[in-house]
Amino acid sequence: MKAVAALIIGLVALGCSPALSEDNAAGTDQAFNTITVEAHPLAAFDKIEPGKTRFGKLKWRGGLVLTSPSRHFGGWSGLVVDAEGRSFLLISDAGSWMSGEIDYAGDRPVALKDVHLGAIRAKSGEALTRKRNSDAEGLTLVSGTPDKGKVLISFERKHRIGRYEIGKDGLSPALGYVELPPGAKRMKANRGLEAIAVLRAGPNQGSLVAFAESLPDRAGDHTGWLWIKGKPVEIHLTNPGDYDVTDAAGLPDGGLLVLERRFRWSEGVKSRLRLVRRDELKPGERIEGEVLLDATMAQEIDNMEGLAVHAGAAGEVIVTMISDDNFNHLLQRTLLLQFAIEGSDLARAEPDRRAGEHVIEKK
């Protein structure tokens, strides 16, 4: 059974899904419309210790397994939420976007409502129907809200970062594109700009930061870019354990959270969340960051690819993650997970931390 499970996990992690063809990812029938999404709560995050709620600096708030009869539901790889964590926008690597509202019971997410779905469109207004063009991976809010604002979306295969607006009819056609760094030409087709975020404060406030899913430098570290005054400069984030980057989100203080994924046949899928403080975000620096969460298949994770943050009512930062099921509905799940972390814990470094050696706190 372990061998079978490992095979399934391997297919999942490598994105092997027969559900969509390369050249019909979004489908020309994908008009702006309302869809139904069912939400089933997770009883706990830890499968072995279901009563456990503290994981390092993170406190478990709740999670949902999401399903929908829509054939376009799935593959969610980028996420943004509003300042209250209610309205949201998702993008799929099959060329879809989805918006709606997260409903809560107290501080626990319990449902999605008022959900709408549509196709990501080119500047011409045509839906992106070929996989080469529609493989959206990263999403960040530039201004406004997920209901009415401006966003950037990064794509791989045909590498680019597009500008879009959100209004009453959902996501606009592409309005233009961000200048990419020369180093982006080194990215492989399916290993492109997986994570993008806008920094919210500090000396680089308003700047874009992006990481390739996998573009190791000579030391094996992650390669990314920080746009300073509109011009991209290269940055590098250490990569203990050989993970891939899947998303990033800007923090209120100007720091950054980075979400990573790792797969090994012997252990299945892992998901790691790291904190990069704003004073580490400097060109030419080797950024270490701090591991906040290192989750394994002993926890309720899947192929975690989307990441967003918002401020909680008590001043804490709420972290929301979503998984990409690769449209492999029999073997994978779309999970929405939420955690809280105290603002003081984000500001304070661990005095004895060592990169890559953090494990989930045990009681």
- pLDDT by residue (tens digit) across 280-333? 998 878 999 999 999 999 999 999 999 999 999 889 999 999 999 999 989 999
Q: Torsion angle of alpha carbons 223, 238, 217, 157, nearest 10°? A: -40
- The SS3 assignment for 182 reads helix
**147 close to 101: Cβ distance less than 8 angstroms:** no
Split at pLDDT 50, 70, 90, the class of 358 is very low
CATH number of 2-347: 2.115.10
What global pTM score does this model have? 0.90
User: pLDDT exceeding 90 applies to what percent of the chain?
Assistant: 79
Position 355 pLDDT exceeds 90:
no
User: pLDDT exceeding 70 applies to what percent of the chain?
Assistant: 87
The per-residue pLDDT for range 76-90, each reduced to its tens digit, is 999 999 999 999 999
Of the candidates 109, 160, 106, the one whose C-alpha atom is nearest the C-alpha of residue 136 is: 160
Q: Torsion angle of alpha carbons 168, 173, 175, 180, nearest 10°? A: 120
* Eight-state DSSP code of residue 127: B
Mean pLDDT of 49-63: 97
The per-residue pLDDT for range 213-260, each reduced to its tens digit, is 999 999 999 999 999 988 999 999 999 999 999 999 999 999 999 999
Position 116 pLDDT exceeds 60:
yes
Determine how many CB atoms are found less than 10 A away from the CB of residue 149: 18
Split at pLDDT 50, 70, 90, the class of 336 is very high
Position 348 pLDDT exceeds 80:
no
The reported pLDDT for the residue numbered 80 is: 98
Split at pLDDT 50, 70, 90, the class of 349 is low
Q: What are phi and psi of 355, to 5 degrees?
A: -55, 135
- CA 133 to centroid of chain Cα atoms: 19
Cα–Cα dist 295/241, whole Å: 13
The reported pLDDT for the residue numbered 30 is: 67
Q: Where are the domains positioned within the chain?
A: 2-347
Mean pLDDT of 185-190: 93
Position 24 pLDDT exceeds 90:
no
Angle at 247 between CA 65 and CA 43, to 5 degrees: 25
Burial of 351 from C-beta contacts in 10 A (0-12 / 13-18 / 19+): exposed
